[in-house]
Chain A
């Protein structure tokens, strides 16, 4: 039950995108088409879960015993960057289609604050390994959910009579704000 609440909290209440505003670059960049957004969501989920597991292990077995907790940000950047590079090489080999559709955004995950944020939040909340996995997967799922919803909205926005000054990213940010307000409705459902 705790795990379920944790997951629901991560997906809806503390949605990494709409409540914490992390990971905005791909949110605006890759959300023009539903199919690309789907690929991006999947990629972030994959990277976030694996990165969290790895950083959790690094933190608890390498940094904490040595009293080097203050190095976590630096080390996590290094670990996540290497991981994303690895993921890129791997996807390129295994799925050309996925690689083509994500294009330049795969390297973007390297500096994706959502992934970094999830890894740091795990430590901040003092989660155990299982909690870390659940929280990371749920947070990333929240990211995927938000970007998919947003892509649907943007596909409709594209054919709407938007004033030319507001076209593109401007209207996207306004829309994101409105969506964020909508997600505020979940506040208080869990602690």
Chain B
């Protein structure tokens, strides 16, 4: 009995001693903090953080490879306790949720019968995905099964529907999707994102200079989700009230519906949701990232400056706008007349941007009141120069301008400052752009007996919005096409007429418009007492000559020079964009430039360098432009809402056009084909909605 016990005991002792020695010899230093953190983590081992389980995540946090908020399941609460444990400060990021990027889904079944495994990955593996395009949703719901939190359901259109309240952003669906169309997106990534050629982009999305996701917000309107529609717009465009009124809709020029029908009235819809928010009495909540402690100064409170300020603020930076005029808004306020964009509406819109925590200083002019070096000394980490194009070009017909001659922007600006100014007698406006039309329509409203627009090319070459030209014609503005101003006729230094010279159109110039050629001996005189020169604008860059300014290179078009792909100037901390970079352009282009500059500035002040955007979409994808479409029947476009009759217009600056009502908005939204790069909805959607209505009614 003794011997077996001794042998057994002996083996045990040898094993114990051996293990003890081994533990010492092969000791691995393990940070006690790893265990502490592991205990604090939820223990779901879901891998959403990107590490192999909770203890690996804890180790990564200790090594500094992961943030304390890496755990996607525990979110803020766990992050806070982890931060306390590590003695760190918690840096919160915005909420991150999964977003699909496909509009297709069930409409693929129009093309294919699929009878394989009920799994996207299997379908992808064996059949390379049965659907009609390379990046569309297969619709077999693998992501639904992958989600441990029940946040994904298969919608009736065959696309997964995500519940943002249940989504924890763990990324299980992203890994499960073989098509790579789901991504975990935070507010920050949304702001920093630019269209890529690899994405599914409807033609309107490709064309919009601000890259607004048009089909998505129209889809929300169709579903009556006006708040989501507006938030979709505001991801890309902080000024929907203003753009909804004055944007000439470059997107509609690309609308796929117009091959068979009129384009969708995209801007009416944007205006509808923007007005819906304003009339609802309360503002939608816009998420803002926690403060980063970085300061950015925006010079110029126009659309580019406001857009940059808005997105930089949402990225968590402290932003101050410096504006030379008494109020913010730039050309929106001083260049666009009240009857197109009421200033009370503009004020409401700008206030919403300032409410995010943006400071604004008005009546301060760069060069006169402060310098760029001063801003730098005051602690600005970056400066965004968006001073616009406020200097009028001049014809130079006379060395000194006779009384009664004024330039376009000055003329409109004066009305903004004092709307009670009257225009007496006959007025002439020289030019064919929007400023010329605005000046003409303003003159009519201010009491001019007659207004004549003198333009040296024909109507087809006019750069003004066609809608505006029609409105001006309706209101009684006369047009003198194909004649160029030659000289002022003056009496006692007062203007009494304009001598014009007839023109004919010659060969197209580099811009593609036919060059006007003078016709000998065709001079005639148009009598007038008031003349507005609206022949173009350019940036006023005189401030660069002052002391205390770094040397900024300019171009021969009097614009600030900067790198096209970053908007960064030769002085690394100075960025530029909008009209002072491109020359006079559209408001929506300035808004796009503002966000692009915000992206560059964000990377510059947080990382020091600006990563290039691979495959950035700049031109229209040729394959996405169709000559014709099938399965779409013409459907009349919703009517514009004229609220001030023609007779009443001349005496008032009241807004001419109204907003479409809810019924019209939903009708118009249903005209949208909800396009992707290659796909679009057939009228079946329409038919289905009508059937639903009939069933309900």
Contacts and interface: CB of A to CB of B under 8 A. Distances in A.
Interaction A to B: yes
Interface of A: 58, 62-63, 66, 68, 71, 74-75, 78-79, 81-82, 85-86, 89-90, 92-94, 100, 103, 159-161
Contacts of A66: 3-4, 7
A160 B123 CA distance: 11
Interface in B1-57: 3-4, 7-8, 11-12, 15-16, 18-19, 22-23, 26-28, 52-53, 56
B118 A161 contact: yes
Given A71-B7, A92-B26, A159-B122, 14 more contacts: A62-B7, A63-B7, A66-B4, A68-B3, A71-B4, A79-B15, A81-B15, A82-B19, A85-B19, A94-B26, A100-B56, A160-B122, A161-B117, A161-B118
26 contacts: A63-B7, A66-B7, A68-B3, A71-B4, A71-B7, A75-B8, A78-B12, A78-B15, A79-B11, A81-B15, A82-B18, A82-B19, A85-B19, A86-B18, A86-B22, A89-B19, A89-B23, A90-B26, A92-B28, A94-B26, A100-B52, A159-B119, A159-B122, A160-B119, A161-B117, A161-B119
Indicate the member of B15, B52, B53, B117 with the most A CB atoms within 10 Å: B15
B345 to A, nearest CB: 55
Contacts of B118: 161
B28 A78 contact: no
Given A159-B119, A161-B117, A78 B11 contact: yes
A89 B26 contact: yes
Contacts of A94: 26
A68 B19 CA distance: 25
Interface in B105-122: 117-119, 121-122
Contacts of B12: 78
Main secondary structure on A side of the interface with B: helix
A81 B14 CA distance: 13
Given A74-B8, A75-B8, A100-B52, A90 B3 contact: no
Nearest to A68: B4
Contact of A159 (B7, B18, B117): B117
Contact of B11 (A58, A90, A100, A161): A58
A79 B26 CA distance: 20
Contacts of B26: 89-90, 92-94
Contact of B7 (A68, A92, A93): A68
Contact of B117 (A74, A93, A160): A160
A86 B22 CA distance: 7
Nearest to B52: A100
A137 B145 CA distance: 41
Contacts of B19: 82, 85-86, 89
Contacts of B15: 78-79, 81-82
A78 B53 CA distance: 31
Contacts of B11: 58, 62, 75, 78-79
A126 to B, nearest CB: 22
Contacts of B125: 159
A77 B52 CA distance: 32
Contacts of B18: 82, 86
Contacts of A68: 3-4, 7
Contact of B8 (A71, A81, A82, A161): A71
